Homo-oligomer: A and B are copies of this chain.
Amino acid sequence: KRAYVIVQKDFRAVMGDGGMSGRVFSALSFIAGMPGITQSDLARNLGIERSGLVAIIDELEAAKFVRRLAVPGDRRVQALHPTAIGEKAYAEAVAKVQLHEDRLLSFLSDTEKKQLVKLLQKIRKSEGEAK
């Protein structure tokens, strides 16, 4: 059962060498998938504190991957939108991660891959329910 620990390390390593750090990639992933998300909501989605997210967004904004846009209705919030450059960079990062994933899972059959994904998604879905 301790295999999990090893697997965790694998994936952290795989994510790590994409030029983009894991946390930045994750943030960009959410912003690309949910344009207009606020920083607070994004922090909740990422499971980190709002304060920690600031540096990540600063980095993404400095790289011109993301813009902070004012929202008409509520002047407190700043909606996060991916730029064209950001979307391109994200697509490239996804491709890289995909490559590593494929290599890592190359010795599993398609059926096994599907099984694995199904099982992990089941675990993930139950996440919120467990008290």
Bound-state CA distance A126–B7 (Å) is 11
Count residues on chain A whose CB falls below 8 Å from chain B CBs: 35
| A62 on the B face (CB < 8 A) | no
Question: What's the number of copies of this chain in the assembled complex?
Answer: 2
Apart from A7-B124, A112-B119, A116-B119, 12 more pairs, CB < 8 Å = A3-B123, A3-B124, A4-B120, A7-B123, A8-B8, A8-B12, A10-B127, A103-B130, A104-B126, A107-B122, A107-B126, A115-B119
- Is A58 in contact with chain B by the CB < 8 A criterion? no
- The residues of B that contact A104 with a CB separation of less than 8 Å are 123, 126, 130
Among B4, B7, B122, B124, the residue within 8 A (CB) of A108 is: B122
